[in-house]
Amino acid sequence: MARRSRETDEERRVRREEEKEKTVSDWVPRTEAGKKVKSGEITSLDDFFAKGFKVMEPEIVDALIPVLKDKLVDFKKTTRVTRQGRNFAFRASVLIGDGNSYIGIGTAKDKEKYPSITKATRNAKLNMFKVRRGAGSWEERSKGTHSVPFKVSGKSASVIVNLLPAPRGTGLVVGDKIKDVMKFAGVKDVWSKTKGNTGSTLDFVQAAIKALAATNNVRYSDDFASKMEESR
């Protein structure tokens, strides 16, 4: 039984990859950025964001990052009471990442289970951003890209997640709920401190995502790092 399950998962993965390739090939861009990606003028997300564009079409991410990791981090059945009675829906939250700097999370609702997951994945692609990584110790200076560059914090509801740089080889000293967040972003070594109701998986993940987004708050860090290298 276990073997058949693994084969089914592999078949599902292959089918999804084929559907993605077909979607990109049949894609008709509606935005200027999308047209440049489709024509091959833009070939990477680094170049895409450097030109000041914003992801307005999920096919842009599919075209620039063919292989994406994804995980359903939260799934709930919701109920809305109206005069006509109770309306049931499904709410899904999906985490995606390339395992090397880019990560995103999306949430969506639908009356059916799988359409809600599909919509959440689409929203996650629209919310993708680059995580600025750095060294976890002074000895490495600006050469390392295995940890966060400095202490960052993120908050979602009552949950606060603090991420601290860690030396190479430390590993992911974080809660199990956000280990995939770090892996999807390409962070290999990091320490963390958390506060609040950490029993909420979605708030935990969203707080970690916001902490990683805060690595982009220091816009001048790349120039500063290059000057440090020149002065050595």
Domain with CATH 3.30.230.10 in the chain: 138-231
Per the structure block, which two tokens stand in for 121? 């994945």
Tens digits of residue pLDDT in 20-68: 666 677 889 999 999 999 999 999 999 999 999 999 999 999 999 988 9
Question: 228, exposed or middle or buried, with CB in 10 Å at 0-12, 13-18, 19+?
Answer: exposed
Res 203: pLDDT: 93
Question: For the whole prediction, is pTM greater than 0.85?
Answer: no
Res 22: pLDDT: 62
- Fold entry, domain 138-231: Ribosomal Protein S5; domain 2 (3.30.230)
| Res. 18: pLDDT tops 80 | no
Structural contact between residues 79 and 88, judged by C-beta atoms closer than 8 angstroms: yes
Domain with CATH 3.30.160.20 in the chain: 2-130
Cα Rg of the chain (Å, integer): 20
Per the structure block, which two tokens stand in for 69? 């990791």
Tens digits of residue pLDDT in 152-196: 999 999 999 999 999 989 999 999 989 999 999 999 999 999 998
Per CATH, is 2-130 categorized as 3.30.160.20? yes
